[in-house]
Amino acid sequence: MEGASGRLAGAVHRALYLGMFLLPLSGWALSSTSGVPARIFGLFPLPHPLPADRLWAEWWRAVHRALAWAFALLVGFHLAAALRHGWRRDGILGRMFGGGAGRRRS
């Protein structure tokens, strides 16, 4: 990757990883401040790191919702970019699926 499109792809990838980290944490904070028990895959209970508080629960709900929408938009953007690469047949879609180096433009 090179140029502006490569920087954009890197930024989107970093944002996706950040979302995968922050979205569950904000959900945990929402669960904690709402007083709702949180469990990992329904098996392991998580402690409540924050006290139950209605106002904080509303704030965490708004944060969690905003992060979820931003993450969904990023996933959609990423999918659209992958489809565009597939349509252009520039070799990048093959690299995404582990098909080697792919064809690079010079």
- What average pLDDT does range 57-82 have in this prediction? 95
100, pLDDT greater than 70: no
pLDDT of res. 101: 53
Select from 35, 62, 37 the least CA-distant residue to 51: 35
13, pLDDT greater than 70: yes
Whether the Cβ atoms of residue 46 and residue 29 lie closer than 8 Å to each other: no
Could you say which DSSP state residue 29 is in? H
